[in-house]
Structure 1
């Protein structure tokens, strides 16, 4: 889901490196295990806990954002990604009956040469919310995030991110009381594929075609260039790109790229998670990524790849297309999507604490 003054700009002037994180953070204590009457056991997650984690995540999804579910593959990534250590980066809370009721977690972004970003991923079962458990989980997550940043000890700007649904006022207040500030809003937008879809021709030498695995690396390079000046975005390294490009949801037959020879200059990549359809009440494609390399902006390549994807999804018999957009995108993406027939629905706020 993700340029302001905190993000790098290609100005040609090298800013002086900040002090190393260990100097900025000072003494960082070991995260204290939460204490709460609803939880009798706290421990790190193991792969054998996957089913319980999925069950708790589903229960939270039904309340927090009932129109979509967190993919199982994304949950399982915690145990597969080299940049996540479950023994240190996760914490599970079980009640007296052995039921999982809380999850604490952090993810340190694998790209750390320009910025160091940590994301908080905790969840509390809806049945035990409002009793202070979320406050304890958030405290542990922040303490673990600071510990992880101190261990990196890099001389780069650092930030910790928490994301909250617009209606989750409790989480927003908890984060703000811990020094997080709302920096950005992301809006979900939906487009009915039964409504006429315009055809936008690619300009110049660009050719629109379906994405295929042979274009994986060229598309990753294009994605990184396109998002280099977007708020909160860091470079996607090969391993993380493989998790996405080779995962079970990406649909190459629906996805579209614009190429110039061997180079990808624009992309609109879509995925399909049929598990969401029953909750949505319609079939859909989710557009994960839309981007144009910075030297090819202003040539109508974004609407060209988007409309090509929409036409492919319509021809495949899908009802709607869904995407998320930064409401302050430097490329004016939200205005573009509105002009292409997308309408806003839900919103998520990014709460950030910078170091």
Structure 2
């Protein structure tokens, strides 16, 4: 089943539309990359991010997305990726023609049809997208930051408590890692619990995943006490490590495990060619000060804007 199209009177002349397909991941990545480069001066998105998200068993991209085309070229898109979370982008060369407004209204209508009381999406603070959503009545739910560890810098190493070890995850760890990740993030994230199959689609089944990407702190009893997921992005001007997840089991906090894993993850990324390392956090976690304390600096600021339906 496909999502309803953008109403004809809302789509500017000269553009066509259709629901997206899995094979459109590269085109969506190109539009998002062009928007990010224009708005924040760097590209954050990778095609693997899109593919991993779209290959979740619970997700049907055709039923929850729309692409806008100029001829054969994708120049804008929107989707609702689950719950109240959406994403959209318009190529900078096609701004100022009403595409952003049409896509925002389309997202609202789809969310209403799905019975969702609110819908929101992240945009760079102060960008054209931020200003548009503010003008359309969207409020800021939270602020997030991309932080970088400058080239040549290292996170101070933290000694592990006696009996604890760091190692790569193995497939036999995956279910425990999924459970820890969901327990930790659902303490502050308002969403449904992700299934193990969806987690697998985004982690070990993500394009390019290698065992060293998933790193664990193991407690003296052999249990998973903390985790870090680090990707190596190679599509930019230089290889970059990105810590996508960092979580500690509730009963294991206050022992320095997160800092130890952060230092370990960035070191692993450097060993695989990264010259720069980044991560993101937001106001819901309260972790910004921790990352700044270990030498990371903010490289871009984003806001999640949402509107009640």
TM-score (norm 2): 0.86
Q: Deviations over 1:223-270 (max 9, x none)?
A: 112222224455332122112222134443254211123421111210
Q: Deviations over 1:59-112 (max 9, x none)?
A: 3343234422422233335653333333331112223x343322122112xxxx
Q: 2:139 aligns with which of 177, 181, 200?
A: 181
Aligned pairs (5 A) from 1:84-123: 84-95=59-70, 97-108=71-82, 117-123=83-89
Contact 2:79 2:107 in 1 (8 A): yes
Q: 1:344 aligns with which of 284, 298, 301?
A: 298
Distance 1:101 1:192 in 2: 33
Q: 1:300 aligns with which of 256, 280, 287?
A: 256
Q: 2:278 aligns with which of 315, 322, 327?
A: 322
Residue aligning to 1:199: 157
Q: Deviations over 1:271-290 (max 9, x none)?
A: 012002x1xxx432100011
| Equivalent pairs, count | 303
Give 5+ residue unaligned stretches, structure 1.
Answer: 1-29, 109-116, 151-157
Residue 43 of structure 1 pairs with residue 2 of structure 2: no
Distance 1:177 1:183 in 2: 15
Contact 2:5 2:18 in 1 (8 A): no
Residue 336 to residue 251, structure 1, CA distance change in 2 (3 Å): farther
Residue 218 to residue 337, structure 1, CA distance change in 2 (3 Å): same
Contact 2:111 2:118 in 1 (8 A): no
Distance 2:298 2:53 in 1: 31
Contact 2:51 2:207 in 1 (8 A): no
Distance 1:341 1:99 in 2: 42
Of 252-261 and 221-230, more deviation after overlay is shown by: 252-261
Once the two structures are TM-superposed, the CA of residue 135 in structure 1 deviates from its matched residue by: 0.5
Residue aligning to 2:181: 223
Of 240-249 and 36-45, more deviation after overlay is shown by: 36-45
Distance 2:173 2:123 in 1: 34
Q: Deviations over 1:5-42 (max 9, x none)?
A: xxxxxxxxxxxxxxxxxxxxxxxxx7752533344422
Residue aligning to 2:227: 267
Residue 251 to residue 188, structure 1, CA distance change in 2 (3 Å): farther
What is the DSSP-based 3-state SS (H/G/I as helix, E as strand, rest coil) of the residue aligned with 1:243? helix
Q: 1:286 aligns with which of 223, 228, 242?
A: 242
Once the two structures are TM-superposed, the CA of residue 195 in structure 1 deviates from its matched residue by: 2.9
Residue aligning to 1:130: 96
Residue aligning to 2:120: 161
Residue 137 to residue 220, structure 1, CA distance change in 2 (3 Å): same
Distance 2:275 2:113 in 1: 46
TM-score (norm 1): 0.76
Give 5+ residue unaligned stretches, structure 2.
Answer: none
Contact 1:186 1:327 in 2 (8 A): yes
Once the two structures are TM-superposed, the CA of residue 204 in structure 1 deviates from its matched residue by: 5.3
Residue aligning to 1:141: 107
Residue 301 to residue 55, structure 1, CA distance change in 2 (3 Å): closer
What is the DSSP-based 3-state SS (H/G/I as helix, E as strand, rest coil) of the residue aligned with 2:228? strand
What is the DSSP-based 3-state SS (H/G/I as helix, E as strand, rest coil) of the residue aligned with 2:211? coil
Question: CA RMSD, aligned part only?
Answer: 2.6
Residue 265 to residue 93, structure 1, CA distance change in 2 (3 Å): same
